[in-house]
Structure 1
Amino acid sequence: MDSIIRAALRTASEVVGTAAAEPVVVGSSPRSVVMRCLLGDGAGSVFVKVFSKTPEGRSSFTSEAAGLSWGLGGPALLGADTEGLVVVMEDVGPAPSLAEVLVGADASVAARGLREWARELGRMAAASVGRRDEFDKLRKRYRTDGVWSGDEPWIERNGPEFLAALEADGIAVPAGLATELRRIATAGEHAYAAFTPGDPCPYNALVAPGGVRLIDFELSGYLPVFLIAAYCRSPFPSCWCVYRMPDEVLAEVERAFRTEIVGALPQLADDAVWEAGMRWATAVWTVDATAYWLRRVTAGDGPMQPERSTGPTRRQVLRYRWERAEELLVDGDYPAVRDAAGALLRQVGKRWEIPALPVYPAFA
């Protein structure tokens, strides 16, 4: 690790034209290490992010550098080195994450932070509509040997895995489910594509004095806009910091996002179009969560974040996804997915005998 940090500091110093020193590691994953470093000319500090030389690390470097260099949001990119897989970016300063605010005690601060988060996510998406070619050019500029994760057919792949998970747990497969899963993978909602940082979870949103700043663009790219908006309706479908939210707060957050994106895609002002797309997104994320988690939690439960011994458990969050599917898939678009979620609730969720997913502490 020390040799990696030293090499990253040398590269960062070359990128910014002055010495970067006194690194403090502020985050790490198998893909990357993030450090706050002081600049030798007294000009303050920067974030230096060095990526692993694995395929996942190379892909994450490309996405981070391309996403930040576009300037639609996130910290300002100061430089990137494709050989060392190092990104140097603006230090956005000390600020609590939205996750910290949501598990705090101030409901008004939490609600305001959520609205600002949704507006920023929506503003970024709206600014990207019709500009996919620009982003692809940026990706080519920072391309290494990695394969972008966004190219993976994850929605299509989840269908067979969802069916296999049901069968492994002894759940009768509802009639027509295989056909619905194929339709989900080819639905027309794919046409409404927009840019996302890729992991817009509350721990990747800093509640700064000037407004929420989104960070971590390692998975940045284009997605159907409804898959992004679903983070507002059934909060944070790919995240670990998941609790319930009051219905009125969810409605405000979704409205904040939708107001921004409608400016670029006015057809989404039509409630029928919007609701159909959101039902599709609910089905996609329900299938995704079940395909990934069901067999992993069969033997036992545990916290969503292994490093944290408190907070919601995996079974609680997975059961909540099934509950939301039953609540939201009510207009007949995906009856087999809804039936599957109901069967999972009655046959698996009830068997677990776990408390309901709690409300975010800030709203409790």
Structure 2
Amino acid sequence: MDEITRAAGALLGQPLRDPVDLGGSPRSTVLRCRTATGGSVVVKAFVDEPEARRAYAGEAAGLSLGLAGPELLAADHEQRLLVMADLGDAPTLADLLLGTDPKAAERGLLEWAGGLGRLAARSVPRRAEFAALWQQHGRGLPSWEDEPWQQQNVGAFLGLLAECGLTAPPGLAEELTAVGTADGERYPGFTPGDTCPDNNLITPDGLRLLDFEAAGYQSVFLTAAYCRMPFSSCWCVHRLPDDLARRVEGAYRAEVVVQYPDLAEDALWQAGMDRATVVWTVDSTLHLLRRALPEDGPMHRTRQPVPTRRQVLRHRWTSALGLTGHPAFAATVRLLLAELAAGWDAPELPGYPAFRATG
């Protein structure tokens, strides 16, 4: 920490002291440091390996747009080091959802959804600027947008089914391939990449986003699906009250319709949301199933309360049963539920703690 603090102080042009570890990941270390004037900044240092270098480029480019998140104060490509403004200790959306105040959790959800929608809408004219920023900070590294992860997931998902001894229903490969290519260029919007509840601060000044490591442009439906599923690729997954879930999705949609007026058409919106649900259900299955088959386990090592992997998978698969426009995928989740989940001794996914007393 001392080495990172010294390097960040030199980059910022003033000494830093008293580093506090805010927790990071295998890719990065995140510190809060005091400045010589009595304020504080947040320092993020990335390790020297390929995915961490791309994460640095995404964070630096995404923050440089200045559309959301903390102000980027300094960046150094060679050291893979960022210094940014400190947003303080406001609660995250995860804190609110796992808490006991339903009104605060409801306000936080609506603020989160509306804020993400505004971000996506306002970002549309700045895609070329983001691409230039990526090249500046990435120095030739391929961006996350250049990685065809949805198409890669198709082959991986078919392989996983075979690994589990399951025969893919006829037409599944073609259906998944079509789903993954439908909306990205027609309705693009900027996303920090990881809009899970613990990366969203609910501050007195509104929503502030954290973690831009996977920043880029993607279909707005892929972000909107986080409102409906909810939180498509996250650990903080419980059920939302039906009425609130609709309002949260509506808050996001109302903002992106400003940029994409045709998304006000219900049939078009529903079709896009169904495609995004398929994409994220495939993705979560790939990330969770191999670990869930031998034994169950919590979605997060330290946070409580959290669901288990089997609870989340069964919820994802059950929710996808109604995707009538994707019959091969609906048949696939029926197969997964019957052949794999039928014997799982895990309770149904509960509601978020903040709303349990209110239904």
* TM-score relative to the length of structure 1: 0.94
1:47 Cα deviation (Å)?
A: 0.5
Structure 2 SS opposite 1:263? helix
Separation in 2, partners of 1:70, 1:175: 45
Give, in whole Å, the separation in 1 of the partners of 2:184 and 2:269: 10
**Any conservation in 1 of the 2:183–2:219 contact (CA below 8 Å)?**
no
Residues 271-295 of structure 1: per-residue CA shift (max 9 Å, x gap): 1211111111011111111223222
Distance 2:256 2:351 in 1: 28
Select which of 329, 333, 347 maps to 1:355: 347
| Contact map agreement 1:282 1:325 (CA 8 A) in 2 | yes
Cα distance, 1:306 vs structure 2: 2.8
Instruction: Output aligned runs, 1:178-197, within 5 Å.
Output: 178-188=173-183, 190-197=185-192
Quote the residue 1:27 is aligned against.
23
1:255 match: secondary structure: helix
Aligned equivalents of 1:87, 1:303: Cα separation in 2: 32
- Letter of the structure 1 residue corresponding to residue 188 of structure 2: A
In 2: Cα distance, 1:295 partner to 1:341 partner: 16
Query: Structure 2: how far apart are the matches of 1:125 and 1:283?
Result: 21
- Pair 1:16 & 2:12 matched: yes
* Equivalent residue number for residue 200 of structure 1: 195
Specify the SS of the correspondent of 1:57.
Answer: helix
Is the 2:45–2:80 Cα contact (8 Å) retained in structure 1? yes
What is the alpha-carbon distance in structure 1 between the residues aligned to residue 287 and residue 79 of structure 2? 33
Counterparts of 1:132-211 in structure 2 under 5 Å? 132-144=127-139, 146-188=141-183, 190-211=185-206
Task: For 1:96-107, list aligned pairs within 5 A.
Answer: 96-107=91-102
User: What is the distance in 1 between the residues matched to 2:58 and 2:45?
Assistant: 13
Query: Where in structure 2 are the equivalents of 1:1-364 lying within 5 Å?
Result: 5-42=1-38, 44-144=39-139, 146-188=141-183, 190-308=185-303, 310-327=305-322, 329-330=323-324, 333-364=325-356
Evaluate the alpha carbon distance shift between residue 85 and residue 189 of structure 1 in structure 2; reply closer, same or farther with a 3 A threshold.
closer
Task: Name the SS of the counterpart of 1:294 in structure 2.
Answer: helix
CA RMSD, 1 decimal = 1.5
Is 1:204–1:216's contact at 8 Å kept on the other side of the alignment?
yes
Identity of aligned residues (%): 50
AA aligned opposite 1:126 = A
Distance in 2, Cα, partners of 1:88 & 1:154: 30
| Matching residue's letter, 2:34 | L
Contact 1:55–1:145 (Cα < 8 Å) also in 2: no
Post-superposition shift, 1:269? Answer: 1.1
Query: Residues of 2 paired with 1:268 and 1:309: CA distance?
Result: 37
Contact preservation (8 Å) 1:11, 1:81: no
After TM superposition, the score normalised by the length of structure 2 is 0.95
- Give 2:135's aligned amino acid: K
Deviations 1:170-194 (A, max 9, x none): 3332121122122123324542111
Contact 2:58–2:134 under 8 Å retained in 1: yes
Deviations 1:246-269 (A, max 9, x none): 111111110110111111111111
1:24-73 per-position Cα deviation (integer Å, ceiling 9, x unaligned): 0011101111111000122x101011111111111111111111111001
- Cα distance in 1 for partners of 2:247, 2:183 equals 26
Once residues 221 and 304 of structure 2 are traced to their aligned partners in structure 1, the CA distance between those partners, rounded to angstroms, is 33
Structure 1: state its 5+ residue gaps. Answer: none
2:98, 2:305 within 8 Å by CA — same for their partners in 1?
no
1:301-341 CA deviation, whole Å, 9 max, x = no partner?
111113447520111111111011113x13xx211101111
Q: Is the 8 A contact 2:184 2:218 kept in 1?
A: no
For these two proteins, the number of residue pairs brought into alignment is: 356
**Are the aligned partners of 1:199 and 1:216 in contact in 2 as well (CA < 8 Å)?**
yes
Alpha-carbon shift at residue 127 of structure 1 (Å): 0.7
Q: Which amino acid aligns with 2:19?
A: P
Aligned-partner Cα distance in 2 for 1:192–1:160: 25
State the shift of 1:131 in Å.
Answer: 2.3
The 8 Å contact of residues 10 and 20 in structure 1, kept in 2 or not, is answered as: yes
Amino acid at match of 1:358: P
Measured in 2, the distance between the counterparts of 1:239 and 1:188 equals 22
Measure how far apart 1:357 and its partner are.
0.7
